[in-house]
Structure 1
Amino acid sequence: MELKQMRYVVAVADTGNFTRAAEQCLVVQSALSHQIARLERELGARLFDRTSRRVRITPAGEAFLTAARQCLEAAERASANVAAAVGEVRGRLAVGLIPTVAAVDIPGALRDFRRRYPQVRISLRVGASDDLVEQVVQGSIETAFLGLPITARPEGVRVRELARDRLVAAVSPEHPLAGEKSVALSRLAAEAFVDLPAGTAGRVQSDQAFSAAGVDREVAFEVTTAEFMVRLVSEGLGVAMLPASYVPGLSGITTIEVTDAPARVEYAVWNQAGCTPAAKAFLSLLGIAADTEDTAGRPPRSRAR
């Protein structure tokens, strides 16, 4: 059994197609198919059911796939650790991010990191805070930057608190409240709201605040991105609650201070087992020491804004 065979199996499982998998692995399809067939003979089980229309992974293939991914990741970590021991940083850097993080400039940091460490393969995944924490725990991403209500804290990962922020109300410029300097949640409760899906960390912080204020609200529009929330608000379809540090660069909306606004905490998180050399170098670029945890709320030394 060879690493390249595992790599071919993972590629077919991910693409669902032998031709696309071969293109991804930079080999001809016949070579990829031959190696997978050879592996199946060695294992004594078919990993994929093939028809003229589709490729479907078998239960045996699913069982093999989990271990294959782990082996490939371990091999990559071993290579990266050896490189780090001789002063090189290479391998991969997979970063997770929620769009409203404002304590650090992740795009700018990735740009600087690529210039400094061109041998590292960089990827970025944007998602919800809870999902990103789980991906860090599982090892599919090395580090993530997220926001949680002050009543919650990331679990199962190492944590660095970056900043604390309060939410503000976002309305269209034509909204009757647009001229107000401040507003209470009790007054906002009569409005139709645009918010994230129920149960997500970004939604929970607002739900908890309205509950604490003793009022109910209607979330008429559930969307998955802050960008689309802003678009709906700008069209006058509803009101949204957004982090104060996120809104200065937005257009088409007006923001209002909320006297009893909910707060959130922005965090950097990474795996409890430690960082890969690439992740350690990236966090260092942001002024975060990966060998320590700091939840005291001090922002990183660089790229804070």
Structure 2
Amino acid sequence: MPLSTPSLELLETFWAVAETGSVSAAAKRLHRSQPAISERLQRLNDIVGEVLYLPHGRGVRLTAAGEAYLAPARRLQELKNEVSDRLYRRSHLQEGVLKIAATNTIANYFLPSHLVEFRRRYPDIEIILKGGISDWTQYALGDWDLLFIEEGSEDIPLPRYYQRHPWLQDEILTIFPQDHALANRETIGLADLLAFPMVWREDHSGVRARVLQEFTRQGLDVPIRIEVNGVEAMGNAVAAGLGIGFITSTALRYRPDWALCTRRLPAPQGIHWTLHLAVPEAPYRSHTLNAFLQQIGLEAHVSQGT
């Protein structure tokens, strides 16, 4: 017949009585009545089959059997205290990890200011950022708290408990050198660009996909002969004269040193581009993740599942 195992409650009571040397003192520590503590001790005696305490003056003393169980009971109490401390620290953002995966553009230009502010508020939280992702199929997406995804690359196999939400909207501009033939034109249509070489981002770029979507919508066939990887490479290639390029308004603001002209396309509406965030549903989110969502203005939005 298998032996019964004392519950944590009974072992906690055993440790409290052993440490205080008194049933009444243990009752005060555990916020229970003396009869309740005595009843727990009797249940523990019944389970172990030996008497653990004997009366001693106004209190109690351990028997040899009680001494035998003292060390493991102490370790269990220490583990309980460790768990309680961990719960407190995580719920108060005194420890934790925030893991974010993002594309090149988002990681380099849209996230840094948010991450710096989050670290200032919660210096004990570890931040792990994987930027420059172009092919999402190469990663175990469920290992990340947040996925920042560009419009134009939404066809990503998300874990079933993740939901995608719009985060920010930006505008895609066309860029070219200041001495380019288009520099004197105030308005430019997509068809006007076909007369000039064009520089394109890498195959999985959301910016590239969004611009090509507009060309296709207008029935324009676009040759792709020059490809570069990342925003910096795009700016450098255009500045060197390799061709016309496309870049987000936010990214361009971070590079005032690029001597380039910009125009909206197609004028006057512009090509707008949405950044999406993929986040676990509420039951799967950590305290750390909820705090970051609140900081970037998404807590209420994602809590409603919209």
Bucket of the pairwise TM-score, normalised by the shorter protein: 0.5 to 0.7
Counterpart for residue 148 of structure 1:
151
Q: Given the alignment of the two structures, is residue 280 of structure 1 paired with residue 290 of structure 2, yes or no?
A: yes
Q: How many Å apart are 1:152 and its aligned residue?
A: 4.7
- Which of 243, 253, 257 lines up with 2:260 in the alignment? 253
Distance in 2 (CA, whole Å) between partners of 1:213 and 1:79 is 62
Counterpart for residue 213 of structure 2:
208
Q: Contact 1:144 / 1:269 at 8 angstroms: preserved in 2?
A: yes
- Which of 230, 244, 248 lines up with 2:249 in the alignment? 244
Q: Contact 1:147 / 1:266 at 8 angstroms: preserved in 2?
A: yes
Distance 1:240 1:85, change over 3 A: closer
Counterpart for residue 275 of structure 2:
266
Q: How many Å apart are 1:89 and its aligned residue?
A: 4.0
Equivalent position amino acid for 1:113 in 2: F
Q: For residues 116-168 of structure 1, give each alpha carbon's deviation from its aligned partner in whole angstroms, at most 9, with x where no partner exists.
A: 2222211221124662x9757322x211333213x957663323322333322
Distance in 2 (CA, whole Å) between partners of 1:294 and 1:171 is 41
- Counting only pairs closer than 5 Å after superposition, residues 179-258 of structure 1 correspond to structure 2 as 179-250=184-255, 251-258=258-265
Counterpart for residue 95 of structure 1:
100
**RMSD (Å) for aligned C-alpha atoms:** 3.2
Q: Given the alignment of the two structures, is residue 137 of structure 1 paired with residue 141 of structure 2, yes or no?
A: yes
Distance in 2 (CA, whole Å) between partners of 1:170 and 1:179 is 13
Helix, strand or coil for the counterpart of 1:245? helix
Helix, strand or coil for the counterpart of 1:174? coil
Distance in 2 (CA, whole Å) between partners of 1:222 and 1:228 is 9
Equivalent position amino acid for 2:272 in 1: A
Q: Contact 2:188 / 2:266 at 8 angstroms: preserved in 1?
A: yes
Q: Contact 2:175 / 2:262 at 8 angstroms: preserved in 1?
A: yes
Q: How many Å apart are 1:230 and its aligned residue?
A: 0.6
Helix, strand or coil for the counterpart of 1:287? coil
Which of the pair has more CA radius of gyration? 2
Q: Contact 1:195 / 1:221 at 8 angstroms: preserved in 2?
A: yes
Distance in 2 (CA, whole Å) between partners of 1:244 and 1:264 is 10
Q: Contact 1:129 / 1:148 at 8 angstroms: preserved in 2?
A: no
Distance in 2 (CA, whole Å) between partners of 1:112 and 1:240 is 32
Helix, strand or coil for the counterpart of 1:218? coil
Helix, strand or coil for the counterpart of 1:183? coil
Aligned residues: 214
Distance in 1 (CA, whole Å) between partners of 2:165 and 2:96 is 24
Q: Contact 2:264 / 2:271 at 8 angstroms: preserved in 1?
A: no
Equivalent position amino acid for 2:164 in 1: V
Q: How many Å apart are 1:209 and its aligned residue?
A: 1.4
Counterpart for residue 177 of structure 2:
172
Equivalent position amino acid for 2:288 in 1: A
Identity of aligned residues (%): 22
TM-score (norm 1): 0.60
Q: How many Å apart are 1:83 and its aligned residue?
A: 4.2
Bigger mean CA deviation after superposition, 186-195 or 283-292? 283-292
Bigger mean CA deviation after superposition, 177-186 or 122-131? 122-131
Helix, strand or coil for the counterpart of 1:238? coil
Q: Contact 1:136 / 1:144 at 8 angstroms: preserved in 2?
A: no
Q: How many Å apart are 1:79 and its aligned residue?
A: 9.9
Equivalent position amino acid for 2:142 in 1: Q
Distance in 1 (CA, whole Å) between partners of 2:266 and 2:232 is 25
Q: Given the alignment of the two structures, is residue 292 of structure 1 paired with residue 300 of structure 2, yes or no?
A: no
Distance in 2 (CA, whole Å) between partners of 1:79 and 1:270 is 28
- Which of 109, 119, 128 lines up with 1:114 in the alignment? 119
Task: Decide which structure has greater helix share.
Answer: 2
Distance in 2 (CA, whole Å) between partners of 1:184 and 1:79 is 63
Q: For residues 52-79 of structure 1, give each alpha carbon's deviation from its aligned partner in whole angstroms, at most 9, with x where no partner exists.
A: xxxxxxxxxxxxxxxxxxxxxxxxxx99
Equivalent position amino acid for 2:278 in 1: V
TM-score (norm 2): 0.60
Equivalent position amino acid for 1:223 in 2: V
Helix, strand or coil for the counterpart of 2:225? strand
